[in-house]
Amino acid sequence: MATRKKRKRKKKGMSYQWKLVLSLLVLILLVGGLFLLDWNRRFELEVKQYPEFGIEIPVDYSLHGIDVSRYQKRINWEAVKAMDIQNIRISFVFIKATEGENDQDAQFKRNWKNARQSGLPSGAYHFFIPSRDPVKQAANFIKNVTLKPGDLPPVLDVEQTSNLPASVIQARSKVWLRLVEQHYGVKPVIYTNADFYDKYLGKAFDAYPLWVAHYYEKRKPRIKRDWTLWQHNDAGHVNGIDANVDFNVFNGDSLAFRAFLIK
């Protein structure tokens, strides 16, 4: 019987399909790596960590400010004004003045006097309680707050519902805003958080300057309407204040800020 010669099997190389898959994987990894590098670069451009302030600060804004109340206790306003970290300074302050129909913040008079003496542009705000009489709340603010040219506009801090529907909150807020505008001759600012504005205020208040609280966003608050001030963090550190403090930015340059001040 004749014997057959055994043929040597040829080693098969990588198939075309597998080469294609491998090429695609390499491309995906390359693109993903470039995306991560770009994302990191963008992140670094949007915020910067300042150990002295204890927080990340958005870098797209030139005017930074704080807001305070009795919770910050006694404040050394000269130290606040003098703090300068890589050209980041405190350029303005809002101070809690009143709450409800009769209450005045325990530190308001001291803060109001000393902040102004330090040369910081200052503004006062009223903590609104929707279940209370808005006329009496406006009278409480007006009785305790005297504004002059160079001050910031008055602020209505509305962030509680008191278990009332949006229609009632809107109606009572409008009373306070109208009375305060009539007295000072300047349109008040509304302070609230982004969700509260959408749920309980909305388009009926779009004509008012908005100071919106939306923490830990990197570039800007997530809200559809225009805004003037953004409270971006509640855990900042400032020389002269022995407590955490809210940080804010003004949405504009120095010319826009001067135009925002009371004339």
Question: What average pLDDT score do residues 34-40 get?
Answer: 48
* Model pTM score: 0.81
- Write the CA distances from 107 to 24, 35, 124, 167, integer angstroms: 64, 49, 12, 33
140-178: string of b/e by CB count within 10 Å (b at 16+)?
A: bbbebbebeeebbbbbbbbebeeeeeeeebbebbbebbe
Q: List 247's β-bridge partners, or say none.
A: 66, 233
**Tell me, what's the pLDDT at 235?**
95
Contact yes or no for 194/222 (Cβ under 8 A): yes
**Tell me, what's the pLDDT at 148?**
96
- Is the pLDDT at 22 greater than 80? The verdict is no
Q: What percent of the chain has pLDDT over 90?
A: 75
Please compute, for residue 42, the number of CA atoms within 13 A of its CA located in the half-sphere on the CB side. Answer: 8
**Tell me, what's the pLDDT at 42?**
46
**Tell me, what's the pLDDT at 60?**
86
Q: What percent of the chain has pLDDT over 70?
A: 83
Rounded Cα distance between 83 and 75, Å, is: 13
- Is the pLDDT at 151 greater than 50? The verdict is yes
Active site residue 46: no
40-64 pLDDT, tens digit each: 444 445 667 778 899 999 988 999 9
Question: What average pLDDT score do residues 74-89 get?
Answer: 95
**Tell me, what's the pLDDT at 59?**
83
Angle at 224 between CA 141 and CA 130, to 5 degrees: 30
213-249: string of b/e by CB count within 10 Å (b at 16+)?
A: bbeeeebbbebeeebbbbbbbeebbbbbbeebbbbbb
Considering only residues 17 and 37, tell me which one the structure prediction assigns the higher pLDDT: 17
Mean predicted lDDT score pLDDT of the chain: 88
Which residue among 46, 52, 159, 181 is the active-site one? Answer: 159
Residue 175 structure tokens = 């009373």
Integer Rg of the chain from CA: 28
SS3 assignment, position 122: strand
